[in-house]
Amino acid sequence: MTSRIVSVLTLGVTDLARSSAFYERLGFRRSNKSDEEIVWFATGGTVLALYPWNALAEDATVPSEGQGFRGTTMAINLSSEREVDEFLERVKSIGGTVVKQPQKVFWGGYSSYFQDPDGHLWEVAFNPFTPVDASGKLDIRE
Amino acid sequence: MTSRIVSVLTLGVTDLARSSAFYERLGFRRSNKSDEEIVWFATGGTVLALYPWNALAEDATVPSEGQGFRGTTMAINLSSEREVDEFLERVKSIGGTVVKQPQKVFWGGYSSYFQDPDGHLWEVAFNPFTPVDASGKLDIRE
């Protein structure tokens, strides 16, 4: 049986144009289905979407106020420690905030965290035990 | 060029066994790389992971307190309105909380929202304009 997948991951953002440019500079490919109300990044699996923060809350019929830790992180896995370092340099150069400097971590990998312009937390990691393809797809199947 | 992908989406949870069972009952296939500290669902694209809420915050080196809207939603896209209705029935039967009853929405689709046991927001939708495969993978490429 095919596993269910997460069809779409949507991040609420306060400036759609700014966030769209941010993620494009990180290597996400913007779909031409995007418009001034929503931005789609076609990834070959889970689609990453950007949508105005308040409109996203409204769509879910919940209050838009929120603060502190969001209990959700995204990860970009790369193929070496050097790629992690270089990626974090790019993040800094385009306005991301480094939260955790790249470092060796307890599970044997090399990891760092940054926040996008709206505070969404991303891990950037090299996992020596789990290979990734050129896009960052993890080889976890069964 | 291949688009970058989100390698992993990790949800912070307060009871790993409970949440693992919840997502398995929704059709996500648990990887046998999972253990008592982290649960992986292999999806063929972005990997869905469950990790203890406080440990996730600690890994990101941020305070674990948070409240209100998290600015992040996940979507499961299905192939008909009836599938959405049936899926929401299953969600209710396993302890999920329906936040928005299935309904026709402004963009022409049929959509609903539920929260998992830790409040993570999921949309369950039928989009008549965008086909999905059996796993829920959206056909958005360019």
Asked if B4's CB is within 8 angstroms of A60's CB, the reply is no
CA gap A95, A16 in Å, rounded = 15
- The residue with greater pLDDT, B96 or A134, is B96
pLDDT digits (tens, 9 = 90+) for B40-83: 998 777 999 999 999 999 999 999 999 999 999 999 999 999 99
Q: Which residues contact B130 (CB under 8 A, 6 or more apart)?
A: B77, B138, B139, B140
Is residue B68 assigned to a domain? no
Q: Which residues contact A131 (CB under 8 A, 6 or more apart)?
A: A79, A139
Q: Which of A31, A60, A89 is the last residue of a domain?
A: A60
- In this prediction, residue B141 carries a pLDDT of 64
φ, ψ of residue A51 in degrees (nearest 5): -150, 145
**Bridge partners (DSSP) listed for residue A48:** A9, A41
Is residue A112 assigned to a domain? yes
> Mutate which of A25, A38, A46, A106 to disrupt the B interface (most B C-beta within 10 Å)?
A46
Asked if B53's CB is within 8 angstroms of A71's CB, the reply is yes
CATH number for B19: 3.10.180.10
How many domains, in total, are found in chain B? 2
Section A20-25 average pLDDT? 97
Q: Select from B35, B29, B27 the least CA-distant residue to B52.
A: B35
Is residue A95 assigned to a domain? yes
Concatenated DSSP letters for A15-32?
-HHHHHHHHHHTTPPBPT
pLDDT digits (tens, 9 = 90+) for A54-109: 999 999 999 999 999 999 999 999 999 999 999 999 999 999 999 999 999 998 99
- Is the pLDDT reported for residue B113 higher than 90? yes
CA gap A135, B45 in Å, rounded = 10
Interface predicted TM-score (ipTM): 0.94
Residues B77 and B140 in one domain: yes
Is B5 within 8 Å of A136 (Cβ atoms)?
Answer: yes
- In this prediction, residue B79 carries a pLDDT of 94
- The residue with greater pLDDT, A6 or B42, is A6
Asked if B59's CB is within 8 angstroms of A69's CB, the reply is no
Q: Mapping DSSP to helix (H, G, I), strand (E, B) and coil, where does residue B17 land?
A: helix
- In this prediction, residue B56 carries a pLDDT of 98
- Is the pLDDT reported for residue B142 higher than 60? no
- In this prediction, residue B108 carries a pLDDT of 93
Chain A nearest-CA distance from B73, in A, is 5
CA gap B49, B42 in Å, rounded = 9
Asked if B70's CB is within 8 angstroms of A71's CB, the reply is yes
Residue in B65, B76, B113 closest to A7 by CB: B76
Asked if A56's CB is within 8 angstroms of B73's CB, the reply is yes
Is residue A135 assigned to a domain? no
Asked if A74's CB is within 8 angstroms of B135's CB, the reply is no
- The residue with greater pLDDT, A139 or B10, is B10
Is residue B137 assigned to a domain? yes
Residues A27 and A51 in one domain: yes
Q: Which residue in this structure is represented by tokens 């400036």?
A: A15
- In this prediction, residue B2 carries a pLDDT of 67
- In this prediction, residue A139 carries a pLDDT of 74
Residues B87 and B141 in one domain: yes
Is residue B67 assigned to a domain? no
Residue in A61, A100, A134 closest to B60 by CB: A100
Q: Which of B11, B35, B62 is the last residue of a domain?
A: B62
User: Which structure tokens are listed for B137?
Assistant: 């993978």
- In this prediction, residue A94 carries a pLDDT of 96
Which residues of chain A does B48 touch, with a Cβ-Cβ cutoff of 8 Å?
6
What is the domain range of residue A36? 8-60
Report chain B's mean pLDDT, rounded to a whole number: 93
Q: Which of B16, B42, B62 is the last residue of a domain?
A: B62
Q: How many residue pairs from chains A and B have C-beta atoms closer than 8 A? A: 244
The band of A40, judged by pLDDT with boundaries at 50, 70 and 90, is: very high
**Bridge partners (DSSP) listed for residue B113:** B100, B123
**Bridge partners (DSSP) listed for residue A57:** none
Q: Select from B46, B6, B9, B18 the least CA-distant residue to B118.
A: B18
Is A47 within 8 Å of A40 (Cβ atoms)?
Answer: yes
Residues B77 and B41 in one domain: no
CA atoms within 13 A on the CB side of A88: 23
Is residue A3 assigned to a domain? no
Is residue A65 assigned to a domain? no
Q: Select from A130, A125, A105 the least CA-distant residue to A114.
A: A125
Q: Which residue in this structure is represented by tokens 């936040």?
A: B99
- Is the pLDDT reported for residue B123 higher than 90? yes
Distance between terminal CA atoms of chain A? 11
Residues B43 and B101 in one domain: no
